[in-house]
Amino acid sequence: MPTTKQRRRLLVGGGLTVVLVLAALAWVAISINPVRQYNQTVRRISQKLSDLDQRRPADVSPLVWRESVSWGGTAFVNIGFSESHTPYAEMLHFEHDLDERLAQPVDLGFFEWLWTRLGETGPHGADYVARHKSNWDELVQANRNIGHPRR
């Protein structure tokens, strides 16, 4: 049977262990929350861009629209990969601007807007757009009339 002194030592040691474990869990929760918020924002924006599949205007070929949605979504994910690529505050600002733009009718001009706005998210966005937008431009030009007879 443990003595009173030994029981006190066990209680203090056990209590200290519980406090340390709780402090460690709090630290982990505080550290993870901003990452979680950022990732939730990225997922929300990605879904909004993906939903554009359903908003193809009649005067745009399915191929060009599908590729434009794909290129736009890929550009966003690469630019918004992490907070070191695009700060959280800028990501929220981008989402606000996107929501305003999506409240209007969309056409291929939307993707011109998207590429321009992605380039304004910061240095990483500007660099990505400078390196990749021309690929989308070429794709649109090469396939603009596919699925639509010349008039």
> What are 118-139's pLDDT values in tens digits?
999 999 999 999 999 999 999 9
Q: CA–CA separation, 5 vs 21, rounded Å? A: 24
pLDDT in tens, 2-58: 677 766 666 666 666 776 676 666 665 555 567 889 999 999 999 999 999 999 999
Within a domain: 48: yes
Q: Among candidates 111, 120, 102, which has minimal Cα distance to 141?
A: 111
Within a domain: 5: no
Q: What is the mean pLDDT of residues 54-66?
A: 95
pLDDT in tens, 91-109: 999 999 999 999 999 999 9
Q: CA–CA separation, 18 vs 30, rounded Å? A: 18
Within a domain: 71: yes
Q: What is the SS3 assignment for 107?
A: coil
Within a domain: 107: yes
Q: CA–CA separation, 151 vs 101, rounded Å? A: 30
| Count of structural domains within the chain | 1
Within a domain: 149: no
Within a domain: 13: no
Q: CA–CA separation, 44 vs 121, rounded Å? A: 17
Within a domain: 14: no
- Domain containing 84 equals 36-143
Within a domain: 135: yes
